[in-house]
Amino acid sequence: MNESDFVKSFLLPSTVKLEDAYSLPLPEILDLKKVADILIQGESDDSFMVNVVRKYFSESLGVMVREVYKNTQNTKSGVFVRLVGTIGFVKKGYPRLVVDAPVSNVSLLPGESKELKTRVFVVFPQAEPDQKEQVFGQVQKDASKDRIVLTTKTEKAGSPPSAYFVEAPGIDLDIIAKVRNYAWNAYRHLIERNPPAVDFDYRPILSERVFETAGKEARSFAAKGLSVPVEVQQAFFCATSGGIE
């Protein structure tokens, strides 16, 4: 081994970069500045995973934003599940609001077609019922102005909505960008009108994502012909599902 080469070139940063053409405009958030770019990659069998997490912070508002561009793809079949601008907003003392934006050419749910489709979900997992009512109500109000109809998603019959979503055929980056703006506007109203909780605990949702959801998603990917090590999903959730420092 050449010692000089080792010192100069061992594990340099990856050359993987996100093309500007696929980057969505961020919601207008006062004083928002980029803090870090986080890259998580993996390969298994015929599949590869590339996760780009962009971390931003607004000092003025105390709001952390994490934005995700992710590609999980089978190199032989061409099957892919991508996240295009998935975004999360969190302010200390408030639950994290997420807009999940998968674009895929394979069925995400049993019984669905395999046509290329864009889905956008607004999810508020740790929120209290009144917080969900405020945020989901504002999101629906803003969406209705653009004649966008959001559908409710429930975990089981008779339970309150766990998410609101909209879907569109093909690749629809415009609808992703719009829902991201609706979500930020709703979150902004929430933090302006309600005091923060004392010692809000973000660990339960992070623990659930890392120790439960990661495994479920790895198995779900496998059913779609995508080989994703659970460790890659765990690293992804560690980078995206935390609260705020």
DSSP 79-125: -EEEEEEEEEEEETTSPPEEEE-EEESS-SSTT---S-EEEEEEE-T
pLDDT over 90 percentage in the chain: 76
Is a pLDDT exceeding 60 seen at residue 17?
Answer: yes
In a domain, 20, yes or no: no
Is a pLDDT exceeding 90 seen at residue 123?
Answer: yes
In a domain, 137, yes or no: yes
pLDDT in tens, 185-216: 999 999 999 999 998 999 999 999 999 999 99
Is a pLDDT exceeding 90 seen at residue 55?
Answer: yes
In a domain, 34, yes or no: yes
Secondary structure of residue 242 in the 3-state scheme: coil
- In one-letter notation, the amino acid at residue 61 is L
Q: Residue 210: give the domain boundaries.
A: 27-240
79/88 Cα distance (integer angstroms)? 26
In a domain, 7, yes or no: no
Could you say which DSSP state residue 137 is in? Answer: H
In a domain, 205, yes or no: yes
Helix pair angle (230-240, 214-223), 10° resolution? 130
pTM reported for the whole predicted model: 0.91
Could you say which DSSP state residue 141 is in? Answer: H
pLDDT for 109: 64
| CATH number of 148's domain | 3.40.1500
In a domain, 8, yes or no: no
Confidence of residue 108 (pLDDT cuts 50, 70, 90): low
- The answer to whether 202 touches 96, Cβ cutoff 8 Å, is yes
Please provide the average confidence, as pLDDT, over all residues in the chain: 90
In a domain, 3, yes or no: no
In a domain, 16, yes or no: no
pLDDT over 70 percentage in the chain: 91
Is a pLDDT exceeding 90 seen at residue 175?
Answer: yes
Provide the number of structural domains found in the chain.
Answer: 1
- The answer to whether 228 touches 83, Cβ cutoff 8 Å, is no
